Structure 1
Amino acid sequence: MFRNPILPGFYPDPSICRVGDDYYMVTSTFEYFPGVPIFHSKDLVHWRQLGHVLDRPSQLNLDGIPCSKGIYAPTLRYHDGVFYMITTMVESATSERKNFFVTATDPAGPWSDPYWLKDAPGIDPSLFFDDDGKAYYTGNRKPPSGQQYPKHMEIWLQELDLETKQLVGPKYSLWDGALKQAHAQEGPHLYKVNGWYYLLIAEGGTGFTHAVTVARSQSITGPYEPCKMNPILTHRHLGQNYGIVNVGHADIVETQNGEWWMVCLASRPYGGPYRNMGRETFLVPMAWENGWPVVNPGKGIVEWESARPNLPEHRWPTLPACDNFDAPELDLRWNFIRTPRGDFWSLSERPGYLRLRLKPETTTGTDNPSFVGRRQQHMSFSVRTALEFAPRSDNEAAGMILLQSSDFQYRLECGMSGDAAEIRLVMREQGEERVLASRPLPSASGLAPARLYLKAEAIGQSYHFYYATAAEAWEMLHEDADGTILSTDKAGGFVGAYVGLFASANGRTSSNYADFDWFEYLPVED
């Protein structure tokens, strides 16, 4: 048996491909940098991260990108010795969507700089390589004849010239979905199975009514016949209190043993209809009957536990729960908000520590703050760190942050109050801030103690915040804070919650810095 999700935490829009006995998968990253994590598996259940596809500023400029914009829905494909990752860059709520792809011969990189595609409207691009060697692009767009209802979209296709890296020839309208009132036809993937072209798409938006539908044709340009069993996968009929919700945006793969499997996104609400971890990656079996895909035959839903794929089990070494910042590079689980600008972080200036320099930028704007964070991956968890920081003025602060967006977050920070240092918990909800609790920090000079320990524990949606001036001598700062403000259901958007470290001069310049000796993230049993 295996247990879902196979990628817990904010890993939405999975796309998968197989090369021999190896499987590779990518997911969306929106405003976070590096972009598009790439994973490797031998058995479809256990995955290790190889790196990021977009790990250089020359590949990914996220300057000024609002929350939940940026990189949408990548597709990963392999053809003739080359890996292709194609995706959408969304600069704002109203701007044009820009589509591009990058290539690599090694999935661990390096990947090329982007090839930007001209006249490629819409989002969620995908690539398909036909038997004759031709390559095709699919995406979504507004129907040329006009939208018949709000968010009415269609899937379109055009040939891609692999030499010029541009779209060529006519555009073809393929399909506008099976669920006419479901809206938001997107996430197309093309496959060829037993002489038929299958078009798998997402419909109904990425919320509660999300669904997977399919159509087929004997010609790549259509016409496409919808499956009478559509949607072939959804959980909207199970109710909003079901443990796995908003299932959709799928990709499929055939194993070397002839089995078929589907990866898809879904969320795990808890403490009510609250999805703090955003959309995660799940695995579900699939079969073919009468020329159509049947998802999880006999059940038709994504389950918590399922029988494992018929592949040799292949586990990877367990990742450490504590990062002691002893390595020359940041662990692959760490991310920045937007493209990092300036030398604001270092692992070498003080070996064994992560040094964050205070920047004027904050975690409440659309700039690149002095922040590193990692995904929340469990409903209940504990995070701890050891901080050495001496604030010099009332605008300086550093510490731990639990972040959903620029307007919804908790900051457990060390700062100044008058002439003395203090520890405080700041809650930011709907863009408004208030200090939930504060305590003066003992110091004869008024500065912070030489070392300060910070801890946050979440038991479901109940969050508790602690501090200590001596190891393990924890003192409660605030008990039972509301964790639901870190859910997409209150904050909106498409990302999941992060936990991390920050340092800010809050609009001013500063030469100060904060040193973090270690950072620990542990799941906690409810």
Structure 2
Amino acid sequence: MIHNPILRGFHPDASILRVGDDYYIATSTFEWFPGVVIHHSKDLKHWRPLTRPLDRVSQLDLRGVPSSGGIWAPSLSYDNGIFYLCFTNVVGRKGVYKDLHNYVVTAPSISGPWSEPIYLNASGFDHFLFHDADGRKYLFNMQWDFRQGKSRFAGIVMQEFCPIEGRLIGDIKLVTKGTDLGVTEGPMVYRKDGYYYLLLAEGGTGPMHAATLMRATSIGGPYEVDPDYPLMTTRESPEHPLQNAGHGSLVETQHGEWYMVFICLRPLPDGSGLSPLGRETSLQKVVWTEDGWLRLAGGGKQPQLVIPDAELTPHPFALEPVRDDFDAPTLGVNWHSLRVPMEPSWLSLTERPGFLRLRGRESLMSLHHQSLVARRIESFDCEVRTCVDYEPEAFTQMAGLVLLYDDADHYYLRISRDEEHGKHLAIIVSDQGQYAELDAYVPIPKGQRVYLKATMRVERIQFSYSLDGSNWLPIGPDLYSGNLADSYRGKLSFSGAFAGVCVQDLRGTRLHADFDYWDYEELS
């Protein structure tokens, strides 16, 4: 059986593609660098993170982008031996405006090398490049309308793309305004049995989310709506374990089966509707009716938590080891930095072999040059551990273990030094941007390495420390994991919780810290 979600933790806006016997899923990364994660599978059950295609500033400059800005809803396609990846870089999202830029990059292989980006437009996000049978290509995206009294989500527009000229050509056409569910976005286009099918996300990415199918006999429409829309939703099922279901993407297997990947969210059991894991990717089998519409194979409109295996040869991948000893020349595919590449100017795996050295830079609230690397939290029950050598000289210098949603909401177990406590360990909490130091100061001898740990058990997070790596002591109170969630206190954000290590030097001397290892262990 295939258990949902198939991509756990922060993996939203999935776009699925099959080329031969290989399946690929691209997901959003927002302010995290490198941009876009592409997962690979051969059986739709076992997935591995394969590559992050936007890995240089010439392709993607995220400096200064707001939290939950950056990469929105990438889409994968393939034509004539070339992979295409469309992506949006949202550089501003204040007030009624969306300042964004849409691009496409190409590669002869899914692993690259990926080209420099071709600029497309800025009229709206969630764009998808469709390759028609006659060789013409069309870009679809939602249209953003900031005007007073107008629907912000003003429908789906289409324009032809010329690969020779590397630009959009011809007239822009509005192909649909969506249904009464509203918030129409996420267009994906497919051709089957003489119809062009348009799969849309509707209802917003929260509890009202849905996937809706339309079709037309011409690429430009008019598109008729599935009379039994939406195809999928949990909007009327608040107790369903996979909430916020919608934003689908379709794939046909080698054997003619059809599947849809989609966004979902597994909320905490406390009734808050929050989830520190963020929006995840699940899989649902779909079937075609005699009159040419899609239905969920399990019946109804709700996704299933467990579905039968696809008719594909099983192909498991090796499990990720719990420990990263920082012995490799580069960090693995699960590691990300915030907004900037992992460059030798602030990160080294060679200056002290077997250690990750980070040079302190800006604060955890910076939108520009942080010295932080982190990985997704993918389980409600997990533990992360590290060991750090660090000799701070002043209160402006800090290093340690961070659990982070964004610049406004994070928990930070850090080593620092000040006039009152000397070298010490303490916890910083940022709650909606409000800074607080918890009254739990532990003195640390000079020259002493410190072992740091964070344990998450569903709603509760507990920090611990050790001076010998064996005898652990708790520090600070239980902390609420819901602080690291999308809609905590009504905030409009879209990513998920990460765990990692970081260093700050707010007097500009770039004092470094050395991390000996990193453990990420799921406890259930």
TM-score normalised by length of structure 1 = 0.95
Gaps of 5+ in 2: none
Per-residue deviation at 1:95? 4.7
Residue-pair matches, total: 514
The equivalent of 1:482 in structure 2 is 480
1:462 maps to 460
One-letter amino acid of the structure 2 residue matched with residue 502 of structure 1: C
Q: Is this contact kept in 2: 1:420–1:440, CA < 8 A?
A: no
Match 2:125 to one of 106, 123, 126 = 123
d(CA) in 1 for partners of 2:370, 2:461: 24
CA distance in 2, matches of 1:90, 1:222: 29
1:137-176 C-alpha deviation (Å, 9 max, x unpaired) = 10111479x8975334211111110111111112221111
Query: Within 2, Cα distance between the matches of 1:95 and 1:298?
Result: 38
Structure 1 residue 437 displacement after superposition:
3.6
Q: Name the TM-score, length of structure 2 as normaliser.
A: 0.95
Partner of 2:107: 104
Of stretches 430-439 and 285-294 in structure 1, the one that deviates more from structure 2 is: 430-439
What aligned pairs does 1:277-316 form with structure 2 within 5 A after superposition? Answer: 277-289=277-289, 290-316=291-317
Which digits, 9 at most, give the CA deviation of each residue in 1:443-467, with x for residues without a partner? 2xxx2x4310000101111111101
What is the aligned partner in structure 2 of residue 354 from structure 1?
Answer: 356
3-state SS of the aligned residue for 1:54? coil
For 2:243, which of 235, 245, 260 is the aligned residue? 245
How far apart, CA to CA, are the structure 1 residues paired with 2:158 and 2:149? 21
**Equivalent residues in 2 for 1:58-457, closer than 5 Å:** 58-93=58-93, 94-118=97-121, 120-142=122-144, 150-178=151-179, 180=180, 182-239=181-238, 241-270=239-268, 271-272=270-271, 273-289=273-289, 290-340=291-341, 343-359=345-361, 361-418=362-419, 420-443=422-445, 447=446, 449-457=447-455
Cα distance in 2, alignment partners of residues 115 and 77 from structure 1: 15
CA-to-aligned-CA distance 1:186-225 (integer Å, 9 cap, x gap): 1001100111000111111111111111111111111111
Q: Deviations over 1:456-512 (max 9, x none)?
A: 10111111110111111101112321221111121541000110000001x321242
SS in 2 for 1:484: helix
| Residue of structure 2 in register with 1:472 after alignment | 470
Q: Distance in 2 between matches of 1:153 and 1:395?
A: 48
Partners of 2:434 and 2:144 in 1: how far apart?
A: 37
Greater Cα shift, 9-18 or 271-280: 271-280
Residues 327, 342 of structure 1: alpha-carbon distance in 2 compared, 3 angstrom cutoff: closer
Identical counterparts, % of pairs: 38
* Residues 143 and 154, structure 1, Cα contact 8 Å, conserved in 2: no
Q: Aligned partner of 2:236: which letter? A: H
Structure 1 counterpart of 2:100, which letter?
R
Alignment-derived partner of residue 519 in structure 1? 518
Contact 1:38/1:108, CA 8 A, preserved across alignment: no
Q: Measure, in 2, the Cα distance between the counterparts of 1:174 and 1:71.
A: 25
Q: How has the CA–CA distance of structure 1 residues 225 and 143 changed in structure 2, closer, same or farther, with 3 Å as cutoff? A: farther
Once the 2 structures are TM-superposed, how far is the Cα of residue 49 of structure 1 from its aligned partner?
Answer: 1.7
| Change in CA separation of 1:511 and 1:123 when aligned onto 2, cut-off 3 Å | closer
The alignment partner of 2:487 has SS state of helix
**Secondary structure of 1:381's match?**
strand
What is the SS of the residue equivalent to 2:45? coil
> How far off its partner does 1:342 sit?
6.7
Aligned partners of 1:95 and 1:124: how far apart in 2? 12
Q: Which residue of 2 aligns with 1:504?
A: 504
CA RMSD of aligned residues (A): 1.6
Q: Which runs of 5+ in 1 are unaligned?
A: none
1:54-107, Cα deviation, whole Å (9 max, x unpaired): 011111100101100011100000100000000111101135321110000010
Q: Could you tell me which amino acid in structure 1 is paired with residue 110 of structure 2?
A: P
* CA distance in structure 2 between the aligned counterparts of 1:56 and 1:429, rounded to whole angstroms: 32
Tell me if structure 1 keeps the 8 A contact 2:145–2:152: no
Cα drift, residue 44 of structure 1: 1.0
Question: For residues 246 and 149 of structure 1, what CA distance do their matches in structure 2 show?
Answer: 25
Instruction: Tell me, yes or no, if the aligned pair for 1:287 and 1:297 is still in contact at 8 Å.
Output: no
Report the CA distance shift for 1:511/1:151 in structure 2 as closer, same or farther (over 3 A): closer
- Write the distance in 2 (CA, Å) between the matches of 1:137 and 1:492: 27
